[in-house]
Amino acid sequence: MSNLLVTGGAGFIGTNFIRFWRSRHPDDYIVNLDALTYAGHRENLSDLEGDPRYEFVHGNIGSYDLVYGIMKVCKIDTVVNFAAETHVDRSLAGPDAERLFYETNLMGTLTLLRAAREAGVPRFHQISTDEVFGDLPLDRPDLKFHEGYPYSPNSPYAISKATADFAVRGFFRTHGLPGITTSNCTNNYGRYQTPEKLIPRAIALLNAGQKVKLYTDEHGVPGKNVRDWLHVEDHCGAIEAILLRGKIGETYCIGGESELSNYQLVERMLAIMSEITGKSLSMEANVELVADRPGHDLRYAMDISNIRRELGWQPKHTFESGFRSTVEWYTSPEGRLWLEGVSGNTEQVREGQNRTLPQQRK
């Protein structure tokens, strides 16, 4: 049995990870620490409330006393750090936004690392992103990110995650914090993704009878940027493999081996939604072209040969089946209700009132 502290567990990937881990390790105890910003939704896991093997704590990873107290009181032996500000567009909103990203992603991670060292936590896994590597050219499909690829982040979000990765590695070498691993993943998709991201945002707009917004480049070419899409359940399976079999001190790259341009993605979405709703949706009628954001990365792609070889992990979902089931969920009554419930959330961080610690673990 293990006692896990999952930070950011009310967010998209954290929610799916807790559900995944509970299904595979039902005897383990999980503390979910989340600040409940606009991207965190406690109701995602409301069915677990009252379960003695699950505890929710409303608070910020930047609070040393809080995170150290959880680690000691709950006898935490594994920290999985999902907590982060994640949206590139928001990180470009100005100096206050940049400061928030650095405070959460870098300083918050440093606080967790210090607390874990002082509390004697033997295992710490850092969730990172492929965006720390920068981008790849569109005309070189042979090039992919890998564990030895140099860091070259292009946005405040990517910079904050890159510096957090270095902080984790530095703690492992300099401060002797044992049991550290890191993973860098490509774009996730699946249930419970906050509609600031492309897929749920586009579906929410279409559900409401509005047009999908698609970036164009400086020449007016729409949606040419390419992303590798990873089903969130496959991502959770990769994290499980790293926690159970990963080599301490190592980094693992995770991807879905499903590269599509944003144009292709929206085109497929419209085709699936046309089938589901019986309404004819098209790129011409249902997409609005908008100016590109600054420094928009061209292409992400991941070489996953290392994690496949060392840990025996590979994606189980094809993009075709995984994407269809995702679109079907967001257009179902349950998914529509969820989207409606979170779409109105403010983008300002809601400071929590409940910062009490869980009960002492026996």
Positions annotated as catalytic residues are: 130-131, 157
Secondary structure of residue 43 in the 3-state scheme: helix
Give whole-number Cα distances, 159 to 153, 196, 270, in Å: 5, 20, 34
H and E: helices and strands count for the chain: 13, 12
Give the other-Cβ count within 10 Å of 158's Cβ.
26
Contact criterion met (CB below 8 Å) for 83 and 57 = no
Phi, psi of 70 (to 5 degrees): -60, -45
Give whole-number Cα distances, 150 to 114, 131, 135, 239, in Å: 26, 11, 11, 22
Can you list the alpha helix ranges (DSSP code H) found in 108-174? 108-119, 156-174
CA torsion angle 203 204 209 214 (round to 10):
-60
Give the torsion sign (CA, 80, 83, 87, 91).
negative
Which two tokens mark 340? 């409606």
- Kind and range of the H or E run holding 100: helix 95-102
Q: How many residues does the chain have?
A: 362
Spatial distance between the Cα atoms of 254 and 235, rounded to a whole number of angstroms: 7
